[in-house]
Amino acid sequence: MSIRSTIKKLNEIKKAFRELQIERKNEKSITESFLNSIYLFSDYTMGETNNEYQFTHEEQQLNAFWKYDLRNIAGNGDTVSKVHRIMQWITDNSIYDGNSPLGPSLPDKILEYGFENKQPINCANRAIIFSDALAKIGVFAIPVWLEHRTENGIVHCHVIAQVWLQEYGCWGAYDPSFNTSFQYQGKPVDIPSLAMLVRRKRKFQIIDNKSGKTTDKGRLCTVFGLMDISVFAGNAFSNRNKWDERLHFVPETYRKLAAIPNERVIGLASFNKEPTGRIY
């Protein structure tokens, strides 16, 4: 074979190899797009109502945690173990202050403000960063607003999180502001159940995440706020300031006591349905 023929053959091989690389890259892109359409946009339908919590992943949410290896922080083990490690990571790397001026934000802003610049963040942003970090590793988590409205219009507010614990097959309440979780008779308890326990004057336990012991940290904030339980329609930033469009889960008696005019009450049980699909 002549040198010219050899060079021609080599060029043909290079061309074929480049075309194969492009084809594989396109196939990978198509596959990733397909998986994203299945896993990244899973809405949570609440009970038999027509209301949904929309788990959307905007670019800012997908890229916000790029500096942090969340899967390594969460570690191995069951969902509960991962949830507790993520909450401890937030506690160890940020300062909590209920009077922080930063309003409900996307995780990139919260991380810059609270983690990098070491400015205090409030309960809303602690619950948001906690929920978004869990969503990033595939755990359903929703920031939940607990409010008490007095007759003279004063609103007392605290924000915690409702987390789906896969192995238990139930939701669990977590308070990343105080680094605590909630239990009743030794088992995880969800936010609607906390409200019913308070109404029936039954005791529930608050567990310190670091020590594993019972504590009263944040009890007053939680109990006082259980008069009105609400969530935004989804985790996208466009939803996080739509105060008039929140979904409320308080019983009718609570609504009357809290003096909330003309707001639709969905019902506590609707917030306890098992989520389907995956979010990441």
pLDDT digits (tens, 9 = 90+) for 6-22: 666 666 666 666 665 65
Model confidence at 54, in pLDDT bands (50, 70, 90)? confident
What value does the mean pLDDT take over residues 242-260? 70
Query: What is the spatial distance between Cα 64 and Cα 216, in angstroms, rounded to a whole number?
Result: 33
- Pairing verdict, β 205-208 and 141-149: unpaired
**CA angle (67 as vertex; 63, 71 as ends), nearest 5:** 85
pLDDT for position 39:
40
245 pLDDT higher than 60: yes
pLDDT for position 150:
67
270 pLDDT higher than 60: yes
Eight-state DSSP code of residue 248: E
Query: What is the spatial distance between Cα 77 and Cα 42, in angstroms, rounded to a whole number?
Result: 24
Cβ(248)–Cβ(260) under 8 Å?
Answer: yes
Model confidence at 34, in pLDDT bands (50, 70, 90)? very low
pLDDT for position 25:
58
Model confidence at 35, in pLDDT bands (50, 70, 90)? very low
pLDDT for position 171:
93
Phi then psi for 144, rounded to 5 degrees? -125, 125
148 pLDDT higher than 60: yes
- The stretches of the chain forming alpha helices (DSSP H) are 3-39, 59-63, 70-74, 79-93, 107-110, 123-136, 191-199, 219-225, 252-258
pLDDT for position 1:
55
Return the minimum-mean-pLDDT range out of 12-21, 195-204, 214-223: 12-21
Which are the contacts of 256, defined by CB distance < 8 A and separation ≥ 6?
Answer: none
Can you name the residues that pair with 54 across neighbouring β-strands? 234
Share of the chain above pLDDT 70, in %: 71
What SS3 state is found at 130? helix
Answer positive or negative: Cα dihedral of 164, 165, 170, 174.
negative
Name the more confident of 187 and 41.
187
What value does the mean pLDDT take over residues 190-218? 92
Phi then psi for 161, rounded to 5 degrees? -135, 145
Model confidence at 61, in pLDDT bands (50, 70, 90)? low
Eight-state DSSP code of residue 273: P
pLDDT for position 78:
93
Model confidence at 37, in pLDDT bands (50, 70, 90)? very low
Helical (H) or strand (E) element with 117: none
Burial class of residue 138, CB neighbours in 10 A (0-12, 13-18, 19+): middle
What separation, in Å, do the N-terminal and C-terminal C-alpha atoms of the chain show?
55
Query: What is the spatial distance between Cα 17 and Cα 32, in angstroms, rounded to a whole number?
Result: 22
